[in-house]
Chains A and B, each alone.
Chain A
C-alpha cells in the first residue's frame, strides 16, 4: 500500500507570492489533516478535511486555506507569503472511523525569501 505522498518536497518562494501544496492520502483514507512544523513551535494543526468538507480548523490566518477533492486528495494554499511561513508542511491521512492510525507524509519544506 502506497504511503501518504506530498508534492513538491522542497519549494522556495518570495515574500508576497502564493503557493499550493498537494497531498495524496493512503488509498481508502478519506480524512486528511495538515500541520505546520517549525523548530520553535513543533507541529501545529492547520485544518482537517473529510469528504471534501473542512471539519476542523486551527488558529491560522485566512491566508492559509485548503480543499479536498472527490478522490480524497487535498491541497493547501498560502497566499501573500511571509518570511514566517517558512516551515515543513506535513499532511496526515487516516480512515475516518479509526481511533488512531494517522499516517504522515514526508512533508513539503517551504522556504520564503
Chain B
C-alpha cells in the first residue's frame, strides 16, 4: 500500500531550528513535495526534491534520501508566522500526489 508518515504535532521557540521528518512507502516515486498550510487557507508550495540531497531556499531546506524513503524539512530562524501545518507529499508512478496527514507546528515566543 501507500503510506506516508510524519509527526502529528511539534512545538518550537521563535528563533530556533526545527526539523520535520517524513518517511514514505509508495507505488513508485516521481518526486517529494513539502507544502505549508495555515488554518483555513490553501496549501502553498515550499519545496520539491526528486534527487537525493539537500535543496535550500532561504530559511527553508528540504532533504531527500530515496534509498531510505526519507525526507525532512528544516526551518531555521523560526518566526511566529511559521506556525502552520506542514504537508509531505509524494508523487507516485501514476502522477498522483499522496499526502501524509501533516505536521502541525506551533512556534512560541
Closest to A31 in B: B95
- Is A43's CB under 8 angstroms from B99's CB? yes
Range of interface residues on A (Cβ < 8 Å): 20 to 34
Closest to A44 in B: B99
A55 to B41, CA, bound (A): 27
Specify which chain A residues have a CB less than 8 angstroms from the CB of B33 in the assembled complex.
100, 102
Specify which chain B residues have a CB less than 8 angstroms from the CB of A90 in the assembled complex.
42-43
A101 to B96, CA, bound (A): 13
Q: Is A58 an interface residue (CB 8 A)?
A: yes
Q: Is B97 an interface residue (CB 8 A)?
A: yes
A58 to B101, CA, bound (A): 16
A-facing residues in B1-42 (Cβ within 8 Å): 30-31, 33, 35, 40-42
- Is A45's CB under 8 angstroms from B98's CB? yes
Q: Is A40 an interface residue (CB 8 A)?
A: yes
Asked if A58 meets B45 with Cβ closer than 8 Å, knowing A41-B101, A99-B31, A99-B50, the reply is no
In this complex, how many residues of chain B approach chain A with their Cβ under 8 Å: the count is 23
A103 to B44, CA, bound (A): 7
- Is B94's CB under 8 angstroms from A101's CB? no
What are 23 contact pairs spanning A and B, CB under 8 A? A3-B42, A33-B97, A35-B97, A41-B101, A42-B102, A43-B43, A43-B99, A44-B99, A45-B97, A55-B95, A56-B95, A58-B96, A90-B42, A90-B43, A99-B31, A99-B50, A100-B31, A100-B33, A102-B33, A102-B45, A102-B97, A103-B45, A106-B42
With A56-B94, A104-B42 known, 20 other A-B pairs at CB within 8 A are A4-B42, A35-B97, A40-B101, A41-B101, A42-B101, A43-B89, A43-B97, A43-B99, A44-B99, A45-B96, A45-B97, A45-B98, A55-B95, A92-B97, A100-B31, A100-B33, A101-B45, A104-B44, A105-B42, A106-B40
